[in-house]
Amino acid sequence: MAKEEREKGFLEQIKDVVVPLVVIIIIIIFAYVLQAVVNILNFLSENPWVAVVVACAVGFLVFVYILAKMRAFGRFKMDSEFLKLLPPEVQERLNEAQGTYQDGYYRSCSVMMRGTLETAIEIRFNRAGKEEAIRGKSLPQKIELSKQEGFVTPSIARKLNQLVKWIGDIGAHDYKVKIRKEDVETSFQTLRIALEHMYH
């Protein structure tokens, strides 16, 4: 017990020394920062043209940042009017696809778009009470059944089959094929049209 009390007393002594020291260091750092801010403000008040240059530079950087963000979406933009038509599960898949698109992982994006399409078809059949019709079917077969049910037009079904072969089969399994930004953007336009027809 006495040993524990001695150890506790030693720790308390260290604490009593360290805490005030940390507080003093923080105060010194704060004082230096405050002095630097005052010096900068004084300099700007004496040289107003510098403030104008800095403001213009900051404004330009903000503009460039916003422009870059807008371009990052490219032709993969999903507006609220489009999204609110879709089931939450489909929205979630689309958001994941868009995330990989923005990060430049176009192969992963293509796979997520394939998953989005399959999820959308399954939910559409479930809503129609015809989930048994597509149970165990491949995605091309599901697309064909969607055409037969009138969920998509024949021309859209044809484009979807091409899309599935490209982004689903080749994109996912053939490492020699490079999936480009333009590829997923074009595929997304087809996917978007199909989703709008299924959930209009």
Q: What is the pLDDT of residue 143?
A: 93
For the chain, the distance separating the N- and C-terminal CA atoms, rounded to the nearest angstrom, is 77
Q: What is the rounded distance in angstroms from the CA atom of residue 72 to the CA atom of residue 78?
A: 12
Above 70 in pLDDT, residue 9? Answer: no
Does the structure show a pLDDT above 50 at 73?
no
Write down the pLDDT at residue 176: 67
Mean pLDDT of the 160-164 span = 84
| Contact of 138 with 118, CB cutoff 8 Å | no
pLDDT for 115 beyond 50: yes
Contact indicator for 74, 181 with CB cutoff of 8 Å: yes
Higher per-residue confidence, 51 vs 149: 149
- pLDDT confidence of residue 69: 47
Residue-level pLDDT at 72: 42
Confidence of residue 80 (pLDDT cuts 50, 70, 90): confident
Average per-residue pLDDT for the chain = 80
Instruction: Evaluate if residue 118 carries a pLDDT over 90.
Output: yes
Residue 185 has a pLDDT of 86
Q: Of 6-10, 79-83, 131-135, 137-141, which gets the smallest average pLDDT?
A: 6-10
Residue 91: its pLDDT value, please?
92
Q: Using N-to-C axis directions, what is the helix angle for 139-149 and 154-163, rounded to 10°?
A: 170
- No. of helices (H) and no. of strands (E), the chain: 9, 0
**Per-residue confidence at 10, pLDDT binned at 50, 70, 90?**
low
Is the pLDDT score of 89 beyond 90?
yes
- What whole-number percentage of the chain has pLDDT above 90? 26
Rounded CA gap, 199 and 87, in Å?
A: 9
The total number of residues written for the chain in this structure: 200
In the chain the domains, ranked by start, together with CATH numbers, are: 2-71 (no CATH), 78-198 (1.20.120)
Asked if the model's pLDDT at residue 194 lies above 80, the reply is yes
Structural contact between residues 192 and 199, judged by C-beta atoms closer than 8 angstroms: no
